[in-house]
Amino acid sequence: MSDYDYDLFVIGAGSGGVRAARVSSAHGARVAIAEEYRVGGTCVIRGCVPKKLLVFGAHFAEDLKDARRFGWNVPDCDFDWKTLRDNVLADVDRLEGLYTQTLGNHKVEIIPERATIAGPHEVKLASGKTVTAKYILVATGAWPMVPEVEGAEHGVTSNEVFHLDECPKRVVIAGGGYIANEFAGIFHEFGAHVTLVNRSDQMLRSYDAQIRDRLLQISMGKGINFRFNAQMERIEKNEDGTMCIRIKDGDPIACDLLLFATGRKPKSDSLGLEEVGVEIDDKGAIKVDDHNRTNVESIYAVGDVTNRVQLTPVAIREGHAFADTVFGGNPRTVDYGCIPSAVFSHPPLAAVGMTEAEARNKLGTVKVYTSDFRAMKNVLANRNERALYKMIVDATTDRVVGLHMIGPDAPEILQAAAVAVKAGLTKQDFDDTVALHPSMAEELVLLK
């Protein structure tokens, strides 16, 4: 029996923390997990899950319109935000229950309060109690970053957007990344007039230029407005609750909702990390080695608070690797190569591996194959929206080093194709695979 109250104390019950807690417990550790808000963290409570449900909800706007071309007699339909909002929030409650149950089944003690670090082996709870643990794992995630603009308090972030009383008629979204493009699509499909305001002239900068240009073209074609190189100067709230967004060197924009989607900052403040000597970088990220260990031997960190790759499946892998390493007698690290990702915009885009620009810089000679097509369903629906698939191949080895797609179901298709890219398969391997016809995915094995 160790001298500590617990073998492991996890701070933060999000994706990374929950996985680390339950696997460590399965390896025989005595584990407690503290959560100041709700079990499930950003992904389940106010991120990936409710967002994806809103994306499904938004898609019906197009599906109902398209259905007429497929012979369905669809009457004019109304959208009721409150029904969708409440159903989504109820599903979030359900999932929170499941996460809580899973922790309970694994004999992890859940402590529903804020915890801070009081020493290398000591955690202080909000109630005033101090507990000890052989190891402490920080998995507190990240928090929306709101730029310093006069009147910024009148805007909301992704934390609040799922709880709106009404669906706004005019929405301004600050930022041009994942959340901005996903919510631009969602609100537009719900009938709002959407303007995306970005400080630079590029959106989704980590994605391939041709793919993001296609999203921009399609989004503009649908009626979403974009203001690039635009700096917000001031946000004014009117007595009737509407807002006026003042832009430097540009026309002001009137709106009912301002959503800040300007990045997420590691949530490392006021956790007692500096006091105990844990190193934090200039962006607030906890510095860790390949085994998720900080410079303080007994303190580890996983997930967004380490700002490596801000994606749920990565945090889960880090949490699992931590548990196997520290309690499972199986030291292992996470492989960060070829992580697939997607933006659930309308239409969605997805990618794995190097963009064309990255491949040209790194490899010199590359071959690029593209398929620019209108999905069969879009043709019959008279929907003038073209998909674009792009394959980047190392010209010397024939190895596929990147796949980039925009079009219906792109994330679903890319997840499977990412296995081939990760496995290092060649363009010839793709060509040798017989097409599955008729499908959109067959374009991947027919690229010329």
Name the residues that contact ligand NDP, by CB under 6 A.
147, 174-180, 182, 198-200, 203, 205, 261-264, 310-311, 341-344
- The count of C-alpha atoms lying within 13 angstroms of the C-alpha of 169, restricted to the half-sphere facing its C-beta, is 4
Q: Say if residue 178 carries a ligand binding annotation.
A: yes
Q: Which is nearer to ligand NDP, 132 or 210 (CB)?
A: 210
Query: Would you say 108 or 350 has its CB closer to ligand NDP?
Result: 350
Cβ 386 to ligand NDP shortest distance, Å? 22
Q: Would you say 111 is a known binding-site residue?
A: no
289 conformational bin, left if phi > 0, alpha if psi -120 to 50, beta if neither: beta
Q: Report whether 15 contacts 303 (CB < 8 A).
A: yes
Radius of gyration from C-alpha coordinates of the chain: 24
Nearer to ligand NDP, 201 or 289 (CB): 201
- Compute the least distance from the CB of residue 394 to ligand NDP, in Å: 26
Closest separation between CB of residue 200 and ligand NDP, Å?
Answer: 3
Dihedral (CA of 164, 168, 172, 176) sign: positive
Question: Is 181 annotated to bind ligand?
Answer: yes
Tell me which residue of 137, 122, 118, 142 sits closest to 42, measured CA to CA.
142
What minimum distance in Å lies between the beta carbon of 295 and ligand NDP?
25
- Please, what is the minimum distance in Å from the beta carbon of residue 434 to ligand NDP? 32
CB 89 within 8 A of CB 406: no
Nearest approach in angstroms of CB 146 to ligand NDP is: 8
Looking at the Cβ atoms of 308 and 332, the one nearer to ligand NDP is: 308
71 labelled ligand-binding: no
182 annotated ligand binder: yes
For residues 287 and 56, give the distance between their C-alpha atoms in angstroms, rounded to a whole number.
37
Q: Which of 154, 163, 188, 437 is catalytic?
A: 437
Residue nearest to ligand NDP (CB): 177
Whether residue 262 contacts residue 158, with contact meaning beta carbons closer than 8 Å, is answered with: no
Residue 437 known to be catalytic: yes
218-249 exposure pattern, b = at least 16 Cβ within 10 A, e = fewer: bbeeeebebbeebebeebeeeeeeebbbbbee
Comparing CB distances to ligand NDP, the nearer of 143 and 430 is 143
Residue 52 annotated as binding site: yes
Q: Which long-range contacts (CB under 8 A, 24 or more apart) does 272-278 make?
A: 272/116, 272/117, 272/118, 272/124, 273/117, 273/138, 275/117, 276/117, 276/118, 276/119, 276/120, 278/117
For ligand NDP, the closer of residues 309 and 420 by Cβ is 309
Write phi, then psi, for 212 (nearest 5 degrees): -70, -30
User: Binding residue per annotation — 350?
Assistant: no
Eight-class DSSP state of 154:
G
For the chain, report the end-to-end CA distance as a whole number of angstroms. 65
Supply the residues annotated as catalytic: 437
Give binding residues as ranges. 52, 175-182, 263, 304
Give binding residues for NAD(+) as ranges. 175-182, 263
Give binding residues for FAD as ranges. 52, 304
